[in-house]
Structure 1
Amino acid sequence: MTENQKLLDGIKIIELSHIMAAPTCGQLLADMGAEVVKVERLPKGDDTRRFGRSEDGDSAAFAMMNRNKSGLGLNLKTEKGKSTLRTLIDKSDVFIENYRMGAMEHYGVGWENVRESNPRLIYCSISGFGRTGPYSDRGGFDLITQAMSGIMSITGEGPGRPPVKVGAPITDITAGILAALGICGAIIQRHRTGKGQYVDTSLYEAGIFHTFWQTAIFGDTGEVSQAMGSAHPLAAPYQAFKTSDSWLVVGAANQSTWLKFVEAIGSNELANDDRFSEPASRMENLDTLVEILNTLLSKRTTSEWMELLDSHGVPAGPVYDIEEMVNDPHTKARNMVTNISSATGKNFSVMGHPVKYSSASTAITQSAPLIGQDSREILTRFNFTSDEIDSLVSEGVISDKRINVEAAE
């Protein structure tokens, strides 16, 4: 493999998706080189197209999760639309969907419908609660699954305060990441067995997966963890502190780092204080420790403390807003936020691929498509004839954005 080769080169993926979890999954796989076809239901397509400022279905929100994909608009209310989707799936390696229970069966492309016609197919469903269990027929949004997975109970300022949702839609995003991981694992197994399989994950499980420490504590002691602000449930100091001009987070939880920390802030006496000398005693006296450290750290600016803490090898960082994160030189060096030109000529910021490879490319090579932008080209790649494609366009089964644009001109 050369540096310009793709990890998933040659893998064909059909993504019938909306909003976030499945588009995130498809985006990661597209970055890794898979040929991902974003199928959208006509006439309106993915709701994300209308999030925020939007022109002709071209929005920053849609661009964020759908770059490196080609776009097919399909009228699934028609029998020809359903049969076209079935043909695409039968000729693909992977199918990804994130609709409610029964939707794929309604379109004639449920797992049981397609597994025999394409035994090598890896079929991935991402839903609110998974395809088994008492909640399998429920719809699920990030807000709901953050609440029911316990995340909102451990997020916020503390007991007696209202429950708080994590600002980012972490169950949606994590479900997409887990699905991509599951698909990659299934691809590897298929190399050994020659057979595909059904991959099933959910926002609910993605949320639970984030509660490692709190679930471990409950299993071990029966104690139900509560919100602690930015603090850690098992170690201290590991949280945000107020400086003279902003906020600073410090991760000085283990003993060796704690000793470096108190030296850096000029308070070695804390290391000999019985209340703070050991990890367990620091947790027992956390409120007192936080009060002392807030007083000490409020005497300098965040940048001054960062210079001191860095020089002593203490993990720490400023609390950034999004603008500060985007403009940080390390963000730029890691290519984590980049600009691309959209199909309508706009410039959108999108996330870079979060994994770097020594011998493979994850370059962003195309912007998110308009609805049906690539319908004709996609069907041609899947061996539809020109006459068949013309018929599907004329009957309103597929959207051909190129023709629509020409007509508008």
Structure 2
Amino acid sequence: MEGTLSGLKVIDFSTLLPGPFATMMLADMGAEVIHIESPTRIDLVRIMPPYANGQATAHSYLNRNKQSIAMDLKDQKNIDLVKEKIRDFDILLEQFRPGVMQRLGLDYETLSKINPKLIYCSVTGYGQSGDYKDRAGHDINYLAVSGIAGHSGRQVSGPPPLGIQIADVAGGSLHAVIGILAAVIERQRSGLGQYIDISMTDCSVTLNSMAAAATVAGQQPQSAESATLNGASFYDYYVTADQQYLSIGSLEPQFMLGLAEVLQLPILAEKGASFLAEDQSCVKQALTEKIASQPLAYWCALFQRLDLCVEPVLSLADALKSELAQQRQWLVNVPLANGKHTEPQLAHPIKFSRSKARYDFVGQQLGSGVW
């Protein structure tokens, strides 16, 4: 069964996380991806612990279904080879700083003259224009200047360093995939490719969504613990008697009243919907004391049969072993290069009624692919 993107050919010049995650998504959906890597300046994901089956697990995951081609882009012969091969490709994705591909002679203007149908996507921290375009940055910096960190976390402790790379993946990778596939659809009408400028910071700004909608409409800028969904209301995490956590998101009236009844907390029914800080403080104090009175297992057993937006906070290991993970098939066994063994990895999350994701092999050894 062919994937939804079968027939599309992608040449990938990216490293680390944002670009490789985007091209992995495309490859999972059937696109043919050729990953160009430097033979001397190794992708850090290749050497990032932990390891399994002789390779870094992050590399095996992010580069599955891709052919790895070792190529020194400082060698003019290799630049000429890329220009020769580019006629056969639909999509190019690169993640260098602005200007690098132009200096190499592999910029969009040059390559689009060879292949006018080429869709060319650049993923950078701050985009191709503006004073920040040449600045170095990481996920934490993009979240900082996009405003996300400024209204996250607690007033006492400040914005939290998160366990995942929101700007890299939700900002860079997923927006790159959206932009690329939109350009593929547009090309069906025009017959022409185009250039796509993905700034991880630009895209992270859009993740502010509701908070930004209020701010640009003239409301007071939000700060930590000033929003309904960011700790100001009882929508929060609560410590249990055994030092675990329970998430409570029972905002709608039917959930709020149901929670008040189950926990025997009339103050929640009386003041839970209030916008006054003192009322919310009283409600949160009552909930904090109640949840702290029993271990997590007690609350899980109680709320498992109730539809009240209350769930346990699971470790990643427990989440991946949960019944939900099994029912929704979060994990898949992907063949190693030799085809004799498999390695468990996160599955492609999009489920189609007819098409299937492909899992041909984990990330390959450097330079082992063919094109």
- Fold match, TM over 0.5? yes
Kindly indicate whether the alpha-carbon contact (under 8 Å) linking 2:167 and 2:201 is maintained by their aligned counterparts in 1: yes
- Mapped to 1, the partners of 2:169 and 2:31 lie a distance apart of 19
- Is 1:280 the counterpart of 2:278? The answer is no
- Mapped to 2, the partners of 1:238 and 1:56 lie a distance apart of 43
1:93 alignment partner in structure 2: 90
Of 241-250 and 338-347, deviating more is 338-347
Alignment of 1:95-114 (within 5 A): 95-114=92-111
- Is 1:170 the counterpart of 2:166? The answer is yes
Q: Report the Cα offset of residue 307 of structure 1.
A: 3.4
- Is 1:249 the counterpart of 2:247? The answer is yes
| Paired residue total | 368
Alignment of 1:151-170 (within 5 A): 151-156=148-153, 158-170=154-166
Say which of 52, 56, 61 aligns to 1:64. Answer: 61
- Is 1:121 the counterpart of 2:115? The answer is no
Kindly indicate whether the alpha-carbon contact (under 8 Å) linking 2:33 and 2:66 is maintained by their aligned counterparts in 1: yes
- Mapped to 2, the partners of 1:184 and 1:284 lie a distance apart of 49
Residue 258 of structure 1: SS of its match in structure 2? helix
Kindly indicate whether the alpha-carbon contact (under 8 Å) linking 1:49 and 1:62 is maintained by their aligned counterparts in 2: yes
Say which of 1, 4, 7 aligns to 1:7. Answer: 4
- Is 1:314 the counterpart of 2:308? The answer is yes
- Is 1:213 the counterpart of 2:214? The answer is no
Kindly indicate whether the alpha-carbon contact (under 8 Å) linking 1:335 and 1:352 is maintained by their aligned counterparts in 2: yes
1:42 alignment partner in structure 2: 39
Q: Report the Cα offset of residue 348 of structure 1.
A: 4.3
- Is 1:78 the counterpart of 2:72? The answer is no
Kindly indicate whether the alpha-carbon contact (under 8 Å) linking 1:225 and 1:233 is maintained by their aligned counterparts in 2: no
- Mapped to 1, the partners of 2:255 and 2:176 lie a distance apart of 36
- Is 1:135 the counterpart of 2:132? The answer is yes
1:351 alignment partner in structure 2: 346
- Alpha carbons of structure 1 residues 236 and 252: separation in structure 2 relative to 1, 3 Å: farther
Structure 1 unaligned segments of length 5 or more: list them. Answer: 379-409
Of 365-374 and 57-66, deviating more is 57-66
Q: Deviations over 1:117-136 (max 9, x none)?
A: 11111100100011122222
Q: Report the Cα offset of residue 57 of structure 1.
A: 8.2
Kindly indicate whether the alpha-carbon contact (under 8 Å) linking 1:248 and 1:318 is maintained by their aligned counterparts in 2: yes
Q: Report the Cα offset of residue 287 of structure 1.
A: 1.9
Amino acid at match of 1:351: L
- Mapped to 2, the partners of 1:24 and 1:195 lie a distance apart of 26
Amino acid at match of 2:295: T
- Mapped to 2, the partners of 1:19 and 1:57 lie a distance apart of 19
Say which of 250, 255, 258 aligns to 2:256. Answer: 258
- Mapped to 2, the partners of 1:294 and 1:350 lie a distance apart of 37
Q: Deviations over 1:60-101 (max 9, x none)?
A: 111121111111111111101111122232320000011101
Kindly indicate whether the alpha-carbon contact (under 8 Å) linking 1:15 and 1:95 is maintained by their aligned counterparts in 2: yes
- Mapped to 1, the partners of 2:286 and 2:136 lie a distance apart of 47
Kindly indicate whether the alpha-carbon contact (under 8 Å) linking 2:146 and 2:202 is maintained by their aligned counterparts in 1: yes
- Mapped to 2, the partners of 1:285 and 1:268 lie a distance apart of 13
Say which of 141, 146, 149 aligns to 1:144. Answer: 141
Kindly indicate whether the alpha-carbon contact (under 8 Å) linking 1:20 and 1:172 is maintained by their aligned counterparts in 2: yes
Kindly indicate whether the alpha-carbon contact (under 8 Å) linking 1:37 and 1:71 is maintained by their aligned counterparts in 2: yes
- Alpha carbons of structure 1 residues 55 and 349: separation in structure 2 relative to 1, 3 Å: closer
Amino acid at match of 1:331: A
Q: Report the Cα offset of residue 346 of structure 1.
A: 8.1
Q: Deviations over 1:277-303 (max 9, x none)?
A: x3535x662222111101112222323
- Alpha carbons of structure 1 residues 299 and 163: separation in structure 2 relative to 1, 3 Å: closer
- Mapped to 1, the partners of 2:34 and 2:355 lie a distance apart of 21
- Mapped to 1, the partners of 2:97 and 2:266 lie a distance apart of 58
Say which of 365, 373, 392 aligns to 2:360. Answer: 365
Structure 2 unaligned segments of length 5 or more: list them. Answer: none
- Alpha carbons of structure 1 residues 252 and 53: separation in structure 2 relative to 1, 3 Å: closer
Kindly indicate whether the alpha-carbon contact (under 8 Å) linking 1:155 and 1:165 is maintained by their aligned counterparts in 2: no
Residue 264 of structure 1: SS of its match in structure 2? helix
TM-score (norm 1): 0.83
- Is 1:293 the counterpart of 2:291? The answer is no
Q: Report the Cα offset of residue 116 of structure 1.
A: 1.7
- Mapped to 1, the partners of 2:96 and 2:217 lie a distance apart of 37
**Whose radius of gyration is greater, 1 or 2?**
1
Kindly indicate whether the alpha-carbon contact (under 8 Å) linking 2:152 and 2:158 is maintained by their aligned counterparts in 1: no
Q: Deviations over 1:292-345 (max 9, x none)?
A: 101112222323323333433101211111211121121132222334354488
Residue 334 of structure 2: SS of its match in structure 1? strand
Amino acid at match of 1:167: G
- Mapped to 1, the partners of 2:325 and 2:205 lie a distance apart of 29
- Mapped to 2, the partners of 1:316 and 1:97 lie a distance apart of 42
2:317 alignment partner in structure 1: 323
Of 72-81 and 326-335, deviating more is 326-335
Say which of 262, 268, 271 aligns to 1:270. Answer: 268
- Alpha carbons of structure 1 residues 366 and 192: separation in structure 2 relative to 1, 3 Å: same
Q: Once superposed, what is the RMSD of the aligned Cα atoms?
A: 2.4
2:326 alignment partner in structure 1: 332
Kindly indicate whether the alpha-carbon contact (under 8 Å) linking 1:129 and 1:202 is maintained by their aligned counterparts in 2: yes
Residue 115 of structure 1: SS of its match in structure 2? helix
Q: Report the Cα offset of residue 160 of structure 1.
A: 4.3
Kindly indicate whether the alpha-carbon contact (under 8 Å) linking 1:58 and 1:343 is maintained by their aligned counterparts in 2: no
1:388 alignment partner in structure 2: none
Kindly indicate whether the alpha-carbon contact (under 8 Å) linking 2:119 and 2:195 is maintained by their aligned counterparts in 1: yes
- Mapped to 1, the partners of 2:52 and 2:156 lie a distance apart of 44
Of 252-261 and 228-237, deviating more is 228-237
Kindly indicate whether the alpha-carbon contact (under 8 Å) linking 2:152 and 2:230 is maintained by their aligned counterparts in 1: no
